[in-house]
Structure 1
């Protein structure tokens, strides 16, 4: 008797040409192998061969997977076949924001350890907020036009003065960079305090008073993050950071400049 059961068999048709290798075909092959299937990997090496295959099987896309002679479908269909989740590109999700804050927190801890020899310092908390501001600004600036369009749905100042929707990510990024460097506090503090306060009031009104269901522009104009707690937190973090820096720099205990 064999010590191990023979692997099940799957046939995968995927596009592989001199100029293009279908990434979904690679993902489908990997998934099938991880599920214990022996994969008969059949390449469609020309556009003509691909078009003929799609016409023969009356399908619109490749790759296509067949198991036990039955067509399963493309990569998403194979995932469903094995009971795995399939991402909905239109579904709301907090994952982008959770990933962002996790990374900026680790960056802050790493920077603190590099500078002070220990990760847990007050400066690490400051850097966490400042790094988050810079990364959030970067995401918005990837497509500032898309961000501005989404931002205009709820920001009170932007609705009255449209250029503010384009200036916002630059202001957020500038304040964050200056706070990281610890310079020009007379610029970073009022900028962060202003944009954070206006943003917090705008989000609170749109979500908690007007009860509007909107997408948050906080991680860029193409996000599916719901407007609400996350965006409010972003703005309140800026306000808190600005107030903290003001007390730290200009408070009674700050000492002579």
Structure 2
């Protein structure tokens, strides 16, 4: 193995050792190979085909994991080490990010416009705006319900009602999903409106108190209990959207405004 490393050229040649077994192919090995090739390296792809061979490799080089990359006779390390060596960003799994909510709202907006276009031939309609909020509620509920225990644990950090009545932390995502589905269909407004208005109002008050009064730095449970989205404006927006949708539908149902499309 050492001979192969010493023979590698310093220019654009790399030696990659990765696990390729009948029951397991290391995904980070595949990513490392692709990354090397994408920046112009010629890759000598050495497969570790058995557990014994892998363990022997780790012992020989004093490493704990595979894959391992060698360039110019020097060990670079695993996939993350390779990214650093190439000057590329390494994602911190614990870092705060707004990416999940940006992706979610972008896709639900596109879904709403697509549905509106399919129905009326126009993507920019009142119904598209209504569907955007309703679709967002359904998708947000789905993300919470992927692991309701994890969501409930994070939710209990700041929700005012859940702190007083723990079962509410489990009820919330189901209520949000139900209200969203009914709003998509434009039916049973006598149920969807009060549900959305109630959970939206309690949620908005809870977020406002935790973030803007108590000045607490918390993670938001809005996209599930495993998210690194900070509690703040985005969380408040989710609840304000539900309140606005509930008020809009109630006003339309009572005839105070016209043009309600649902």
**3-state SS, counterpart of residue 252 of structure 1:** coil
1:3 is aligned to none
> Which residue number corresponds to residue 193 of structure 2?
189
Output the TM-score relative to the length of structure 2: 0.94
Query: Alpha carbons of 1:242 and 1:48: their partners in 2 closer, same or farther (altered >3 Å)?
Result: same
* Counterpart for residue 9 of structure 1: 13
Deviation string, structure 1 residues 96-129 (Cα, Å, up to 9, x no partner)? 1100000000000100000111100000000000
**Deviations 1:129-162, CA, capped at 9 Å, x for gaps:** 0000000000000000000000000000000000
Contact 1:92 1:225 in 2 (8 A): yes
Q: Who is 1:179 aligned against?
A: 183
- Which of structure 1's runs of 4+ aligned residues deviate more than 4 A? none
Q: Does residue 215 of structure 1 match 2:219? A: yes
In structure 2, the partner of 1:139 is 143
Unmatched 5+ residue regions in structure 2? Answer: 1-9
Deviations 1:12-65 (A, max 9, x none): 000000000000000000000011000000000001111111111111110000
Conservation of the 8 A alpha-carbon contact between 2:11 and 2:72: no
Aligned partners of 2:183, 2:79: CA distance in 1, in Å? 45
1:80-99 pair list within 5 angstroms = 80-99=84-103
Number of equivalenced pairs:
250
Aligned to 2:118: 114
- 1:251 positional shift: 2.5
Are positions 1:250 and 2:254 aligned together? Answer: yes
Q: Distance in 2 between matches of 1:166 and 1:191?
A: 15
Distance 1:166 1:31 in 2: 43
1:27 counterpart (16, 20, 31): 31
**DSSP-derived class of the 2:18 partner:** strand
Matched, 1:65 2:69: yes
Check the 8 A contact 1:7/1:36 in 2, yes or no. Answer: no
Alpha-carbon distance, 1:253 to partner? 4.8
Alpha-carbon distance, 1:198 to partner: 0.1
Asked whether the 8 Å contact 1:7–1:38 carries over to 2, the reply is: no
TM-score normalised per structure 1? 0.95
Listed one character per residue, the Cα deviations across residues 183-216 of structure 1 (whole Å, up to 9, x for unaligned) are: 1000000000000000000000000000000000
Q: Distance in 2 between matches of 1:246 and 1:41?
A: 64
The alpha carbon displacement at 1:250 in A equals: 1.4
